[in-house]
Amino acid sequence: MSFRSGHHFLQLPGPSNVPERILRAMDRAVIDHRGPEFSALVPQLLDGMRELCGASGPVVLFPSSGTGAWEAALTNTLDPGDTLLCAETGQFSNQWAEMARKLGFAVEVLPGDWRHGADPERIAERLRADRGHAIKAVMVVHSETSTGVCSRLPDVRAAIDAAGHPALFLADTVSSLATMEYRQDDWGVDVMVSGSQKGLMLPPGMGINVISIKALEAHKRSRFPRSYFDWTPILELNARGFYPYTSPTLLLFGLREALQMILREEGLANTLARHARLAEATRRAVRAWGLEIVASDPREYANSLTAVFVPDGIDADDVRATILERFDMSLGTCFGQLKGKAFRIGHLGSINELMLAGTLAGVQMGLQLHGIGTTAGVNAALEYLAAPAPTR
């Protein structure tokens, strides 16, 4: 392996860069997870997560990935064989649906083109047709990490209400939490699914559920077999500051630091505004390169990442490989029907204007080595970023 000076640019849509101060917050001796220091930490984190999510209900922090939190959302609220409605928006919506099938649920997918978010009108139409209320839950990915498309969750909630349907509303916020506006109570989401490794700027290893009162009541009625992901013992022991099993102690100290940075220092509104500004700069660069953004509807642009089509006849993964080899920067691959046709630029978590400028310069150089784009891309982004940022 050849020597690389400087630092590697990790510009995936997650895991994202972990700030030095979060690394330092986790760089400590392991404490007794049955002791008083730990029991004082847990309620702080649960309160902070409720504030971050605009939620009043219970929060569960699992030692798992976001995939584990998907499983928990399903198995804690539903019965074996229940029917679920899933809006296809990309790779991760499909993986969630496939998990549900493997768990024995009947899954009905509303097909999508991977360039648009969940269609509220189609959801309402399907729910109105379900007069017997066989559908027990609607599954939507807020920010589809595989495509950079954001579903309009308030509109989906309105569609469910307009249909007069009692289905639970389950939302994946793995790449939108702390990068885009999310308000659990106001938007009527029943179970939020997320993870630690993206907007929260932590290493992978923590799955998150935020639970509505309606979902908690469904949990009490649920007959689905579960053990590790069962909410009941976690919620009972969390009330005293503990866990029913070994907790991810050091990740929890990192989460405390992340919440301090987002909520108390930068401020959530400013965190979201920063992500919106960097995302818009990225989109301006893409357009100036003469390339097309995967997300078709400007209302559905994700602020955590941008997926970019390359011209026909060029393999997007070859472009990514060139950028990694020449400029020591990792970009995200695409999956399924987008494989080889597009790549993903992550601009979430601990990132500022200069980091984004370096990212876009690396992308631009890689594109030019493949005969794509012009120098106008970075210039378009810099002109936008050089303008005064809105103050709040």
Angle at which helix 376-386 crosses helix 353-369, to 10 degrees, equals: 170
Confidence of residue 392 (pLDDT cuts 50, 70, 90): low
User: pLDDT above 90 covers what percent of the chain?
Assistant: 94
Look at residue 390 in the predicted model and tell me its pLDDT. 66
The length of the chain, given as a count of residues: 392
Average pLDDT, the chain: 96
pLDDT digits (tens, 9 = 90+) for 89-140: 999 999 999 999 999 999 999 999 999 999 999 999 999 999 999 999 999 9
Identify which has the larger pLDDT, 392 or 109. Answer: 109
Question: Given this chain, do its domains 9-16+268-386 and 20-263 carry the same CATH topology?
Answer: no
Look at residue 100 in the predicted model and tell me its pLDDT. 98
At residue 389, φ and ψ (nearest 5 deg) are -75, 145
Look at residue 339 in the predicted model and tell me its pLDDT. 97
Q: Is the pLDDT of residue 1 over 70?
A: no
R_g of the chain, CA atoms, integer Å:
21
pLDDT digits (tens, 9 = 90+) for 283-313: 999 999 999 999 999 999 999 999 999 999 9
Look at residue 287 in the predicted model and tell me its pLDDT. 97
Q: Which residues pair with 63 in a beta bridge?
A: 206
Number of Cβ atoms within 10 Å of the Cβ of 339 = 13
Look at residue 220 in the predicted model and tell me its pLDDT. 97
What kind of architecture, by CATH, is found in domain 20-263?
A: 3-Layer(aba) Sandwich (3.40)
Q: Is the pLDDT of residue 154 over 90?
A: yes
- Mean pLDDT score, 1-20: 88
CA atoms within a 13 Å half-sphere pointing along the CA-CB vector of 249: 16
pTM: 0.95
Tell me whether strands 83-87 and 135-141 are parallel, antiparallel or unpaired: parallel
User: pLDDT above 70 covers what percent of the chain?
Assistant: 99
The domains of the chain are located at 9-16+268-386, 20-263
Q: Which residues pair with 194 in a beta bridge?
A: 208
**CA nearest neighbour of 25 among 207, 208, 251:** 251
- Which structure tokens are listed for 188? 């009527």
Query: In Å, how far are 78, 94, 226, 275 from 103, measured between CA atoms?
Result: 11, 14, 11, 36
- Which structure tokens are listed for 299? 């209302």
Look at residue 373 in the predicted model and tell me its pLDDT. 74
CATH 3.90.1150.10 fits 9-16+268-386, yes or no: yes
- Mean pLDDT score, 31-39: 92
pLDDT digits (tens, 9 = 90+) for 230-289: 999 999 999 999 999 888 899 999 999 999 999 999 999 999 999 999 999 999 999 999
Q: Is the pLDDT of residue 338 over 70?
A: yes
Beta carbons within 8 Å of 150's beta carbon, 6+ residues apart? 117, 142, 143, 144, 176, 180, 295, 300, 301, 302, 303
Tell me whether strands 329-331 and 9-11 are parallel, antiparallel or unpaired: parallel
Look at residue 389 in the predicted model and tell me its pLDDT. 74
Checking phi first, is residue 28 left (phi over 0); if not, alpha (psi -120 to 50) or beta? Answer: beta
